[in-house]
Amino acid sequence: RMSRHAKKLKDHDINPCVAETDATTKCMNDNNYNKDLCVDYFLNYKNCRKFWHEIMMQRKRNGVKPEMPPAEERKKILESMG
């Protein structure tokens, strides 16, 4: 049974970086938890979090609810950027 926190991390509407989280975890598992071999994965995750945090802050400033766009809307945002 997953904790509430673990469920939130896996919820695509709450966490825009589920894929990056999973890829980082897999890399760590596959490489015996040697962080040096997973630097690119950590960087991708960090960039993902930074990107969506900026979107969220912009929406908050503009009074847009919800502040974090749902998964379907995020997909459209990413597609519009190429």
Cα distance between residue 67 and residue 44, in whole Å? 22
What average pLDDT does the segment 10-23 reach?
89
What's the pLDDT at 13?
Answer: 78
Instruction: State the average pLDDT over residues 36-46.
Output: 97
pLDDT category, 33, cuts 50, 70, 90?
very high
| Distance from C-alpha of 44 to C-alpha of 50, rounded to nearest angstrom | 10
Residue of 11, 6, 20 lying closest to 48 (CA atoms): 20
Q: Are the C-beta atoms of 17 and 52 separated by less than 8 Å?
A: yes
Q: Are 28 and 35 in contact, with CB atoms under 8 Å apart?
A: yes
pTM for this structure?
Answer: 0.83
Over residues 26-30, mean pLDDT: 98
Average pLDDT, integer, range 45-70: 95
